[in-house]
A = this chain, B = another copy of it.
Amino acid sequence: MTENINAALDRAARLFGKNEAVVDGDVRWTYDELDRRVRAFDGELDRLGLMKGDVVGVLALNSAAHLIAWLGAPRSGRVLNEINTRLSTPEIRYILDDSAARMLLVDDAFLEAGRELLRDCDTLDHLVYAGAGQSPADCVSLEVMTTSGSEASPVEVLDEDVAGIFYTGGTTGRPKGVLLSHGNLASNAKHALLCLGYDEHDRYLHAGPMFHLADGASTVALTWVGGAHVIVPGFTPDGWLRAVSEEKITKAMLVPTMITMLMAHEFGPDTDLSSLRSVLYGASPMPQALLATAAERLNTDFCQVYGMTEAAPIVTFMTHEDHRRGLAGEDPDAAVRLRSAGRPVVGVELEIRAPGGGARQPAGEVGEIVVRGPNITSGYLNRPEETAEVLPGDGWYHTGDMGYQDEAGYVFVVDRLKDMIISGGENVYSTEVENALYRHGDVEEVAVFGLPDEQWGEAVHAAVRLRPGSTTTAEMLRDHVRCLLAGFKVPREIHLVDQPLPKSGAGKILKRDLRAEFASRASVEVGAG
List of B residues within 8 angstroms of A349 by Cβ: 7, 10-11
Give which listed residue, B183, B225, B346, contacts A11 with CB less than 8 A.
B346
- Chain B, Cβ-Cβ closest to A346: B224
| Beta-carbon contact of B193 and A346 below 8 Å | yes
| Beta-carbon contact of B183 and A190 below 8 Å | no
A485 CB, nearest partner CB in chain B, Å: 29
> Known: A11-B344, A343-B15, A344-B11. Is A373-B3 also a contact (CB below 8 A)?
yes
| Beta-carbon contact of B374 and A156 below 8 Å | no
Give which listed residue, B15, B186, B187, B190, contacts A409 with CB less than 8 A.
B15
Q: Taking the complex as formed, is A239 at the interface, i.e. its CB lies under 8 A from any CB of chain B?
A: no
| Beta-carbon contact of A190 and B347 below 8 Å | yes
Q: Taking the complex as formed, is A132 at the interface, i.e. its CB lies under 8 A from any CB of chain B?
A: no
Most chain-B CB neighbours within 10 Å: which of A7, A183, A343, A346?
A346
Q: Taking the complex as formed, is A395 at the interface, i.e. its CB lies under 8 A from any CB of chain B?
A: yes
List of B residues within 8 angstroms of A156 by Cβ: 395
- Chain B, Cβ-Cβ closest to A349: B7
Q: Taking the complex as formed, is A14 at the interface, i.e. its CB lies under 8 A from any CB of chain B?
A: yes
> Known: A193-B194, A194-B194, A374-B159. Is A3-B347 also a contact (CB below 8 A)?
yes
List of B residues within 8 angstroms of A159 by Cβ: 1, 374
Q: Taking the complex as formed, is A372 at the interface, i.e. its CB lies under 8 A from any CB of chain B?
A: yes
Digit string of A157-180 for contact with B (CB within 8 Å is 1, else 0)? 001100000000000000000000
Q: Taking the complex as formed, is A408 at the interface, i.e. its CB lies under 8 A from any CB of chain B?
A: yes
A301 CB, nearest partner CB in chain B, Å: 15
Most chain-B CB neighbours within 10 Å: which of A11, A183, A224, A344?
A11
Q: Taking the complex as formed, is A2 at the interface, i.e. its CB lies under 8 A from any CB of chain B?
A: yes
List of B residues within 8 angstroms of A160 by Cβ: 1
- Chain B, Cβ-Cβ closest to A191: B190
- Chain B, Cβ-Cβ closest to A15: B409
* Cα distance, A374 to B194, chains bound together (Å): 17
* Cα distance, A180 to B343, chains bound together (Å): 29
| Beta-carbon contact of B225 and A2 below 8 Å | no
List of B residues within 8 angstroms of A2 by Cβ: 372-374, 395
* Cα distance, A305 to B344, chains bound together (Å): 28
- Chain B, Cβ-Cβ closest to A160: B1
Digit string of A382-398 for contact with B (CB within 8 Å is 1, else 0)? 00000000000001000
Give which listed residue, B3, B224, B373, B395, contacts A374 with CB less than 8 A.
B3
List of B residues within 8 angstroms of A224 by Cβ: 346
| Beta-carbon contact of A346 and B225 below 8 Å | yes
* Cα distance, A344 to B11, chains bound together (Å): 8
A344 CB, nearest partner CB in chain B, Å: 7
- Chain B, Cβ-Cβ closest to A410: B15
Digit string of A361-373 for contact with B (CB within 8 Å is 1, else 0)? 0000000000011
* Cα distance, A343 to B15, chains bound together (Å): 8
Digit string of A404-447 for contact with B (CB within 8 Å is 1, else 0)? 01001100000000000000000000000000000000000000
Which A residues from 94 to 127 make CB contacts under 8 A with B?
Answer: none
* Cα distance, A3 to B193, chains bound together (Å): 18
List of B residues within 8 angstroms of A395 by Cβ: 2, 156
* Cα distance, A7 to B3, chains bound together (Å): 20
- Chain B, Cβ-Cβ closest to A372: B2
Digit string of A1-25 for contact with B (CB within 8 Å is 1, else 0)? 1110001001100110000000000
List of B residues within 8 angstroms of A194 by Cβ: 190, 193-194
19 contacts between A and B (CB under 8 A): A1-B1, A1-B159, A1-B160, A2-B372, A2-B373, A2-B374, A2-B395, A3-B187, A7-B373, A11-B349, A14-B409, A15-B344, A156-B395, A186-B347, A190-B190, A190-B194, A190-B346, A190-B347, A194-B194
9 closest residue pairs by CB, A with B = A15-B409, A3-B374, A14-B409, A1-B374, A2-B395, A224-B346, A7-B349, A190-B190, A15-B343
- A: residues with CB less than 8 A from B are 1-3, 7, 10-11, 14-15, 156, 159-160, 183, 186-187, 190, 193-194, 224-225, 343-344, 346-347, 349, 372-374, 395, 405, 408-409
Q: A7-B347, A7-B349, A14-B405 known; 15 other A-B pairs, CB under 8 Å?
A: A1-B1, A2-B395, A3-B187, A3-B347, A7-B373, A11-B344, A11-B409, A15-B344, A15-B409, A183-B374, A190-B190, A190-B194, A194-B194, A224-B346, A225-B346
